[in-house]
A and B are shown apart, each in its own frame.
Chain A
Amino acid sequence: MRLFLACAAICLAQVHFGEVSSAQDVDIRVPSVVVAGNQANISTGGSGKATFYLVGPGVSRKSDVSLGKEVFLSAQDLSVAGRYLAVLCSSACRSAAFYVSSAQPHTLAFLVHPSRVAVAQNDAVSGVALPFDLFDNLVLSPLGVNLQLTGGGRLLFSQALRTRDGIAWFRSSSGRSAGALQVTASLDKVSAQRAVQEVASDPCNLRINGQRTPTGVLVQTEPVHDCAGNAVPDGTIVTFSATDSSGKSTVDAPIKHGIARAEMATSGVTLITAASGVVMGNELRLGSQ
């Protein structure tokens, strides 16, 4: 009696963990390799009727089968990569596990950060590429991904990447010219393209000039560029400050056509300064009218 109970417990445990049961009249043989989206057959041994169960990441199925014949698994049953368990139950149960691997890459998920970056910044652009098959399974086998960064119609940077555990990544500095930076990742016939907008950096050598007008002073910047020579975009704020005997006057003037301009009512000797963000410009001293 004690021996019988021990044997029953071992049998149940083996069925539970997908191992071979003790029943001798049922046999099941699963394929060693299955690719996602392909059909497969599972061989059974014995005679009579049985119940077949298939449990996997994307399927849970039960069907009546005849022992000794093959059980057909459709492409839809096996579309999701992962570990599957096939269970065959007649007077007793027998089970076997098999793996479905991902198919050939079909799409490339490509994430690039940031969408907008100042020029001439070290390690400012980064991205990851993840190959997926037709059934959206991540392709885990190592694959070669070609990366290209182009800007202004010419190649700025290229690198051959290799996926590891389904991911390839890169990091790169931004270019020196403002404009669209095209980032392309390609894998055989599959490719994905993203755009990073490279924008001018902080103004460099902010210089102002001014002149007296009948009502005060007209002050304006020279064309505002960053240190790489890119024009700072219109709409960027330049703060002009004019100090005279009546106090201080300030105007936050946006750059228009590359130049910021402001008119301020001042009299007497006037000290004028300009700043854009944390960048200071030159000082200008205008004498009295």
Chain B
Amino acid sequence: MKFALPIVLVAITAGLMLVGVVGAAHARGTVGIAAGSAMYGLTPKASAPEPALTNLLVDIQRRDWDAAFSSLSKTGGADKQSFIEEWTGSNGSLRSFSNLESFDSRPLHITNDQAQMRVHLHWSTPVGPIEDVRDIHLVREGDIWKAVWPAIVLAKVPAQVIPVTYLRWDLVNGSAGNEWGSKNIDAPHVRIISMNAEDSSEGIAVMGEVVNEDTIPAFVNVNGTLIDGSGNPIDDESSFDKIAHILLPKQVTPYRIDFPGFRLKKIKDVRMDVKAALVPASADPVIGVMNQKVETDVQGKSVLHGDLLNESGRTVNIPHVIASFYDNNGKVVWVADGYVDGALLPQSSEPFAVEIPRSVAAEVQNFHVVVNQYSLGGL
């Protein structure tokens, strides 16, 4: 009798350990596992496309690259280093600061030997959750299904010297005495050139464009306040990252301010306030936005896609695309943004895509894209 309690405790502990190990093997959304498997051999056998894809993505989540790469078909052509870089990012890109939080997959087409699976990847990133959609091809090799990973072409930049002679603005705080009015520098002049408020699926969206009318760079932010029928302010929001904050002289940026949970019918007025401050800035890098086109993607959504081309000699670690969409009267009907996973290396390009909501897709006649850039190492 005196051994009963220890035996029960040992049995419960062993049971919990087993549950933990098996559960970890099937974990979704596990973040921060550096490498390796909790207990090798407990991964379900890839005897069908779904478990094969799940095993692969779980290995990627856990950063067990040996296991992940061994579950790829040799017919794919991807090399291990490129495969790892594709999932972990490089050059300080957004992907290198992201984790694969979870995924959902569904079959598109399955035969005895081949399968096409669509997977929604949910990434947690410093700029918020990002969803990625991929179609993955799997083949049966013996009684095991394996993913066919195509050869990955990573941008390679040859060693070179690129002279850059673009302007740079520095900010010097005057060292004059305390004489009144002797060292004032006015804030840059910026102006809202268009503004439109629309009901969106999540609330009210106020959008438009701002121009820097001055001859110096400006750090710009747009704030909006909703006024109800009795003239009282009921919500106050800012454009946050739906704007290119640093505007060079005569540069135009779209902006969008979201007011979640509000509807326009209850709003009498929207007060807009644009704030500008003088900041140091550089005219470099120049990023071209090439081959922009609105098309319908595989899920039936309208998407503006194109390529960002870095025309300078500096790496842009995290490119951010902001697009304004116009109707046939030139009115801004939507502003959307998107971050690019990969770093934009000098003289190279990266694709981007920005989704247009179904409610406005039919109205869109024209668009304008600006690129915000975040680079490690400042100006």
Interface-lining segment among B128-136, B177-185, B200-208: B177-185
The answer to whether A235 and B292 have CB atoms under 8 Å apart is no
The reply to whether the CB of B3 lies closer than 8 angstroms to some CB of chain A is: no
Chain B 309-350 near chain A by CB (<8 Å), digits 1 or 0: 101000000000000000000000000000000000000000
Report yes or no: B292 in contact with A254, Cβ–Cβ below 8 A.
no
In the assembly, what is the distance between CA of A199 and CA of B189, in Å?
13
- Complex interface: chain A residues within 8 A of B311 (CB): 251, 263
> Complex: how many Å from CA A113 to CA B186?
8
A interface, by DSSP: helix, strand, loop or mixed?
strand
B279 at the interface (CB under 8 A from A): no
Determine the distance from Cα of A252 to Cα of B251 in the docked complex, in whole angstroms: 8
Please choose the segment from A2-10, A67-75, A137-145, A242-250 that sits at the chain B interface, where 4 or more of its residues have CB less than 8 A away: A242-250
Asked whether, in the complex, the Cβ of B215 is within 8 Å of the Cβ of A278, the reply is no
User: Given A235-B167, A256-B166, does the pair A250, B214 have CB atoms closer than 8 Å?
Assistant: no
Q: How many A-B residue pairs have CB under 8 A?
A: 106
> Given the complex, which residues of A lie within 8 Å of B184, measured CB to CB?
113, 115
Q: Which has the most chain A C-beta neighbours within 10 Å: B186, B250, B368?
A: B250
CB-CB under 8 A from B370, the residues of chain A are 252
Q: Specify which of B181, B291, B306 is in contact with A109 (CB 8 Å cutoff).
A: B181
Query: Is B293 touching A254 in the complex (CB atoms < 8 A)?
Result: no
Q: Which residues of chain B are near A278, meaning CB under 8 Å? A: 193, 211, 252
**B169 — which chain A residues lie within 8 A by C-beta?**
235
Chain B residues with Cβ below 8 Å from A277 are 211-213, 250-252
CA distance A246 to B286 in the complex (A): 22
Minimum distance in angstroms from B354 CB to a CB of chain A: 14
CB distance from B285 to the nearest CB of A (A): 11
Cβ contact within 8 Å between A252 and B286: yes
* Interface residue ranges of B330-379 to A (CB < 8 Å): 367-371
Interface residues on B, range: 35 or more
Q: Does chain B have a CB within 8 A of A194? A: yes
In the complex, what residues of B have CB within 8 A of residue A246's CB? 291, 293
> CB distance B186 to A114 under 8 Å?
yes
Residues of A within 8 A of B252 (CB): 239, 277-278
B264 at interface, CB cutoff 8 A: no
- Is there an interface contact between B286 and A254, defined as CB atoms closer than 8 Å? yes
A235 contacts which chain B residues (CB < 8 A)? Answer: 166-167, 169, 215, 217, 248-249, 283
| Cα separation A279 to B251 with both chains bound (whole Å) | 11
Contact between A237 and B248, CB atoms less than 8 A apart:
yes
Interface-central residue, A251, A252, A264, A279, by most chain B CB under 10 Å = A252
B250 touches A250 (CB 8 A): no
| B291 and A249 form a contact (CB under 8 A) | yes
Q: Which of B135-191 contact A (CB under 8 A)?
A: 165-167, 169, 180-182, 184-186
B100 close to A (CB within 8 Å) = no
- Some 20 contacts from A to B, beta carbons below 8 A apart, are A110-B181, A111-B180, A114-B186, A115-B186, A235-B215, A235-B249, A236-B215, A236-B248, A239-B251, A247-B292, A248-B291, A248-B292, A250-B292, A251-B289, A252-B286, A254-B166, A254-B286, A256-B166, A264-B290, A265-B309
Residues of B in contact with A (beta carbons under 8 Å apart)? 165-167, 169, 180-182, 184-186, 193, 211-217, 248-252, 283, 286-293, 306, 309, 311, 367-371
